[in-house]
């Protein structure tokens, strides 16, 4: 269990860097006990999400469509079969060579066990070299815990067995607030007490909120970012037009622009990083 004191604890988490995460190419199935597969089919709640990885991959130019197809068709279901939950996978609207995805775990112990089940599998060993042909960098990874128990991902819908080829899919916006080392706890409280309500009034629908974990990386073969103090807000919008309208409402909100945001900005080490994400055809999480 995650110590509830950690919801607002400030500190750095430890990890080792040096191994590249990638994915294979040919269709295959990871052999997993039936009970594990059944527990995660149609009920992502069973394995999500006290621990979350936010993973941003930089792909080689022109490889995004190929990688999206391979991930959706080949890897999404086998990853889930280990017991973890692939919450969602996305294209980045502002970075055409970026692939972003999130996966969740119930505990850190489950994380180590489920990652080993996938990365020690015949599937991974057989096809990792082919996958690296698409990936330029895969080390941009944050290990996160919920900002509060009520704000973890839950009720994540099951993945459709077929690709959703209908137009749209909505817009997921992930905002990373990189705080000063001493300010993460204070920013978390400020966000919950005043900022989130204002953002939601402007049109954002909160899906989850997380913060960087203080726990050490217990699967060091896959590196994570270290020494950072980041609050992550995940929100849903109908589309890019709805997001643009939300931005205009915030700009017109004098309390936001003259009081709330200046106070919050003083606690950050840089401007927020905003990821405008469109779900892939088989992403669970959609706008």
Q: Which residue has the tokens 């609050």?
A: 231
**pLDDT < 70 positions in the chain:** 1-47, 165-168
Asked if omega into 257 is within 30° of 0 (cis), the reply is no
Task: Please name the helix (run of DSSP H) or strand (run of DSSP E) that holds residue 189, with its range, or none.
Answer: helix 184-190
**CA 3 → CA 106, 152, 171, 231, distances in Å?**
14, 14, 33, 18
Residue 41: predicted pLDDT: 46
Q: Where are any strands of DSSP class E within 10-126? A: 51-59, 85-92, 98-105
Identify the CATH number of the domain defined by range 21-163+170-279. 3.30.70.100
Pairwise CA distance, residues 36 & 48, whole Å: 14
The burial class, CB within 10 Å (0-12 / 13-18 / 19+), for 199 is buried
Residue 160: predicted pLDDT: 82
Secondary structure letter of residue 34 according to DSSP? H
Query: Which stretches of 104-165 are DSSP H helices?
Result: 108-119, 122-131
Nearest to 102 by CA among 193, 182, 208: 208
Residue 165: predicted pLDDT: 65
Joined tokens for residue 118 = 């996938």
Residue 37: predicted pLDDT: 38
With beta carbons less than 8 A apart as the criterion, state whether 100 and 285 touch: no
With beta carbons less than 8 A apart as the criterion, state whether 277 and 89 touch: no
Residue 62: predicted pLDDT: 94
* Global pTM value: 0.84
């Amino acid at each position: 269990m995650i110590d509830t004191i950690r919801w607002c604890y400030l500190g750095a988490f430890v990890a080792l860097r040096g191994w590249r995460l990638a994915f294979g190419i040919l269709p295959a199935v990871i052999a997993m006990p039936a009970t594990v597969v059944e527990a995660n089919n149609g009920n992502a709640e069973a394995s999500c999400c006290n621990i979350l990885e936010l993973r941003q991959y930089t792909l080689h130019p022109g490889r995004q469509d190929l990688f999206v197809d391979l991930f959706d068709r080949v890897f999404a279901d086998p990853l889930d079969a280990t017991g973890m939950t692939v919450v969602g996978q996305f294209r980045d609207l502002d970075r055409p060579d970026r692939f972003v995805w999130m996966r969740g775990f119930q505990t850190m112990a489950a994380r180590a066990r489920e990652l080993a089940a996938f990365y020690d599998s015949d599937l991974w060993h057989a096809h990792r070299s082919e996958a690296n042909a698409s990936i330029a960098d895969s080390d941009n990874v944050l290990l996160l815990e919920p900002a509060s128990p009520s704000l973890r991902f839950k009720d994540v819908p099951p993945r459709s067995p077929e690709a959703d080829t209908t137009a749209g899919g909505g817009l997921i916006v992930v905002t990373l607030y990189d705080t000063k080392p001493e300010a993460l706890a204070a920013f978390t409280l400020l966000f919950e007490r005043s900022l989130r309500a204002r953002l939601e009034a402007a049109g954002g629908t909160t899906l989850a909120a997380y913060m960087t974990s203080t726990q050490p990386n217990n699967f060091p073969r896959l590196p994570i970012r270290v020494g950072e103090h980041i609050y992550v807000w995940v929100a849903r919008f109908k589309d890019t037009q709805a997001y643009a309208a939300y931005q205009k409402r915030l700009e017109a909100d004098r309390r936001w622009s003259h009081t709330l945001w200046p106070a919050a900005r003083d606690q950050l080490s840089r401007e927020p990083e905003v990821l405008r994400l469109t779900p892939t055809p088989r992403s669970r999480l959609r706008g």
